[in-house]
Chain A
Amino acid sequence: MVSITINGNQYSVPADYSILKAAEENGINIPTLCYEEGLTITGSCRMCVVEVKGVRKLLASCATPVTEGMEVQTESERVISARRDILRLLIANHDLRCLTCERNGDCRLQDYCYRYKVEDTPYKGDKKHYPIDTDNHFFIRDYSKCIKCGKCVSICAEVNGAHVYDFMERGFDTKVTSAFDDTLQETTCTACGMCVNVCPVGALVEKSVLWEGRPWEVKKVTTTCSYCGVGCQLKLKVKDDRIIGVTADKSGSNLGHLCAKGQFGWEYVHSQDRLTDPLIKRNGVFEKASWEEALTYVAHRLQGILQERGGQAFAGLSSAKCTNEENYLFQKFMRTVLHTNNVDHCARL
């Protein structure tokens, strides 16, 4: 543990903490755009700079470890002046059509401009305009809104391992994009959508939410993904009792990471073709039945076939959507009740 002073108050924090973490755990908020827990610290946005006594330049609090006796100011005049300029610079090169932006009201750039009273920018000049890339099935890429925080680059490389994104060109011409600026179909993209979830602004947006509702009208419902036994936690974006999208939930064992199915494969929930009741085929036609009726029918037939033909007449296929416990029970049932080892599992989805 080391003891440090932040804004005049003393705190004792673990020695391996960054200034940012030390502040956060003690209820002091420092603004960040490129910081994301679990990803490599790039220190690129510079929003989190703070003043440390005895150091001539401001330091990025995300990338600076605490040291014994350190004296930190998180909102000094120098710090605020630097942050305000960073925000003015960002909005000077940002497509400011906030009125219709899907992230309006849920945007760090907006929040910090409000917090630091940045109403406009004095830096008028060159501005990057890129056509919106709508080519992939699941989300749009609107790089006129990208603030080059690099979080999509990191999450894709470090968590997914697909390495789809990187920086192209340099300096003011820097663009975050896929290799050769290609559409995502031409890359190793697995459509996990984690890039969309980490983007702090409206540069990466799911197609399903477009024009479906403002962020404050959308309810976020934490649930468990129904696709596989991992049981990833996620948040459903729900508007008027309909799902319009999914976003990360960091509380579960998946730490907010998702795959294409959990992120984008929820359309079936509202499908007209979904089975909602058990059906029994009678005279060649499926008819609605009660659960009691359906289960009794299945039990009866299983017993009949077992007596007539023996266990070898059965084969059981279970699902990767089930939990381990359910799959265990299923094979146990097949072996001990139906007397067969013909049991397999669909984890080849």
Chain B
Amino acid sequence: MDTSETFQVQFKGNAQTYFGIWIVNLLLTIVTFGIYSAWAKVRTKKYFAQNTSIDGRRFDYHATGKQILIGRLIVGGGYIAMNVLFSIAPIVGGALFVAFMFAVPYLINRSIAFNARMTSFSGIRFGFTGSYWRAVLVYFVYPFLSLLTLYLTMPFVSRAQHRYYVSRHRYGTAQFAFDSKVGPFYKAFLLAVAWVVGISVVGIVVVAAMIFGSPAVMLDLLSAEADGNDLGIGHIIGMGLFSVLILIAILPAGYIYQAYLRNAVYAGASVAGGHSFTSVVKPAKLLWIALSNAAIVVVTIGLMHPWARVRMARYMAASTYITVEGSMDGIVGEEQEKVSALGDAFTDFEGIDVDFAL
């Protein structure tokens, strides 16, 4: 029998309760000189996971503060040791740094695996099986090759990365799969590029016409700057123009890309048993939420961060659907495997983001 049913992802968190968690986390982190941050991270992740549900079945997060702290101590210790070594013996430090680069794909895999393993849905944990050489290929070799094509092949790289990420995940014993044409990835890429180019051209012409009368004068000013003669006023105008350009050209392009990319990735993903996903994030809406969030957070010197984060989580959840083939019941979990928090702490520290956004 073929009955399929579609559910919208629900997020039930609210700004008030998360504000309390957030500010108490922050206070305890400060008074413990950062040590509590490991437990704070767990509490935050639990809050967001437990308040996210599909058809009344919850997500959950299972790492312990102690696990996270140990991972962070190792990574933080390594970071300090590396810096100290750099200042004692820069040549040895440099050589060691190159050696360390070879560990990065391994750490990325550990990080994805740790996060998968520590997340559960409907009582069953996720899992991830990485491959060192596939990770080297999709995260390092492919991006480098695409650089040689002036990034014109970036959508292929992006598709390869998401295929690697999605299809190596499991839900219990049910394997994820990823199958997508490259078209949707090109759509995301080209629309973002078109936005940047279009706005930049319009912006430069308009601004130059307004301030300097003609574009030629501005080029003059820019080259004067390069000579380092008078950095003062030219520098400040340059910085101002640059931030405006970032605000209206690059930032929106980032969200356009992110929105279409997410929709493409969800459309291509499925789980054994025929369950599939749909993401209907709208770039304009995403951009609006992100920009107004940023503005409000800045104006309130950070105090509205919880509200902003909850608002974004709610929009992301509401834009996500899962179509279940038959039932979500009956999926079997797998034996516990040991995972260390080391890789997780590494990506945390270095700000590498291998997640696709949910």
Q: State whether these chains interact.
A: no
Q: Which residues of A contact B (CB under 8 A)?
A: none
